Amino acid sequence: MPLKLAPAFKDYLWGGERLKSEYGKHTRLSPLAESWELSCHKDGPSTIVNGPDAGRTLAEYAARHPACVGTRHTDGVFPVLIKLIDAARPLSVQVHPDDAYAQRVEGEPGKTEMWYVVDAQPGAQLYYGFQRELTREEAARRIADGTLTDVLNAVPVKAGDVFFIDAGTVHAIGADILIAEIQQNSNTTYRVFDYGRLGADGKPRALHVEKALDVARLCPPERPAGPMGKPEQNGDCTSTLLAKCGYFTARLLDVAGSAPLCADGESFHSLLCLSGSGAVICGGGAVSFAKGDSLFLPAGLGAYTIAGRAQLVLTTL
């Protein structure tokens, strides 16, 4: 059956309150920066809330039912992590390592990710790579003297924008942006620059300059912003390929009625509802969902139907 998930929450200092006020997230944490909607990561696993496995973490469920991930992934580590991110203030400028560096230095996978901009206030922007190529020496000097943002590629954003962040791409989400993020199952981030902010302990937040410079591509982004595919109409559903890589495939589904789909044995299906409401109908039963809900459909579940009026992100391997 489809599994409805409760997320893990993160109260990083740059977060806001929109995930609680607009997306139905219940937590005493304030601010609320991230909800880890589909997660088997030790730093914040999501929890099943319906059916016979209610109360178990998704990680426990996957360990008991390894076939639920699908045959496209066989290394035993759950491959993806899906988040909602509410940036009321700018995130630090940061970069993620690739698999080889991360496994050698951190003991976990690298981090390639994708952002779908759910909402952005007028004037919002983010950083995506550099305006031009830099040497390591210039990058280090600009980090030290606080001028790194002068050479970053600042991009105005609006709802519906898509950014694919390959490992090694220097990036930062700006203020007043709400994002759905699909990423590798990793929590390794190297902070490059943080505007001189202090953490909860009153001390400057740690930077990871040498590691960041080891892995950063000091050049403009190779991939243009935007979805990788065009909208395709299939009955009551418009499907747009947002991103496809060796780690995940993400599609935006706009459903206005019913949309038949199938979770075969190759990959699980993850559904994250960004707006609207409906139900996933499968095997004679139905699991309802609303804005902010996340559902996990195990690989091999078979045919199912999304019924309702909703916008969702579908993630598969």
DSSP one-letter string for 81-109: EEEEEEESSPPPEEE---HHHHHHHTSS-
Q: What is the dihedral of CA 180, 310, 296, 73, to 10 degrees?
A: -60
Among candidate residues 215, 244, 277, the one where a domain is terminated: 215
CA distances from 105 to 40, 108, 215, 217, 243 (A): 21, 8, 11, 18, 28
CA angle, corner 156, sides to 22 and 152, nearest 5? 120
- Which helix (H) or strand (E) covers residue 75, if one does? none
Tokens of 63: 């360990």
pLDDT in tens, the chain (317 residues): 999 999 999 999 999 999 999 999 999 999 999 999 999 999 999 999 999 999 999 999 999 999 999 999 878 889 999 999 999 999 999 999 999 999 999 999 999 999 999 999 999 999 999 999 999 999 999 999 999 999 999 999 999 999 999 999 999 999 999 999 999 999 999 999 999 898 888 899 999 999 999 999 999 998 999 999 999 999 999 999 999 999 999 999 999 999 999 999 999 999 999 999 999 999 989 999 999 999 999 999 999 999 999 999 999 99
The reply to whether 276 falls in a domain is yes
Q: Which pLDDT belongs to residue 124?
A: 98
The reply to whether 128 falls in a domain is yes
Q: Is residue 270 domain-shared with residue 194, that is, in the same domain?
A: no
Among candidate residues 188, 215, 242, the one where a domain is terminated: 215
Which residues, including other chains, have CB under 8 Å from residue 28's CB and lie 6 or more apart? none
CB 127, CB 171: distance < 8 Å: yes
Catalytic residue among 191, 205, 223, 309: 191
Q: Is residue 260 domain-shared with residue 206, that is, in the same domain?
A: no
CB 74, CB 52: distance < 8 Å: no
Q: Which pLDDT belongs to residue 140?
A: 97
Q: Is residue 293 domain-shared with residue 198, that is, in the same domain?
A: no
Q: Is residue 154 domain-shared with residue 260, that is, in the same domain?
A: no
The reply to whether 224 falls in a domain is no
CA dihedral over 254, 223, 73, 111, signed as positive or negative: negative
Give the residue numbers of the binding site.
96, 113, 171
Q: Is residue 153 domain-shared with residue 183, that is, in the same domain?
A: yes
CB atoms within 10 A of CB 60: 15
Beta bridge mates, 178: 86, 119
Among candidate residues 215, 242, 271, the one where a domain is terminated: 215
Size of the chain, expressed as the number of residues it contains: 317
The reply to whether 226 falls in a domain is no
The reply to whether 290 falls in a domain is yes
CA dihedral over 90, 9, 307, 280, signed as positive or negative: positive
Q: Is residue 173 domain-shared with residue 288, that is, in the same domain?
A: no
Q: Is residue 79 domain-shared with residue 189, that is, in the same domain?
A: yes
Query: Residue 315's closest CA among 78, 146, 150, 85?
Result: 78
Q: Is residue 186 domain-shared with residue 252, that is, in the same domain?
A: no
Q: Which domain holds residue 250?
A: 232-316
Rounded CA-CA distance 190/170 in Å is 10
Rounded CA-CA distance 4/256 in Å is 21
Rounded CA-CA distance 161/180 in Å is 11
Q: Is residue 107 domain-shared with residue 134, that is, in the same domain?
A: yes
Q: Is residue 201 domain-shared with residue 79, that is, in the same domain?
A: yes
Rounded CA-CA distance 192/136 in Å is 13
DSSP one-letter string for 233-264: EETTEEEEEEEE-SS-EEEEEEEEEEEEEEE-
Give the residue numbers of the binding site for Zn(2+).
96, 113, 171
The reply to whether 7 falls in a domain is yes
* CATH value at residue 179: 2.60.120.10
Active site residue 89: no
Q: Is residue 251 domain-shared with residue 183, that is, in the same domain?
A: no
How confident is the model over 273-310, as pLDDT tens digits?
999 999 999 998 999 999 999 999 999 999 999 999 99
Q: Total domain count for the chain?
A: 2
Q: Is residue 119 domain-shared with residue 50, that is, in the same domain?
A: yes
Tokens of 71: 């045959």
The reply to whether 151 falls in a domain is yes
Rounded CA-CA distance 233/253 in Å is 10
CA distances from 56 to 42, 46, 49, 119, 189 (A): 14, 9, 8, 32, 28
The reply to whether 222 falls in a domain is no
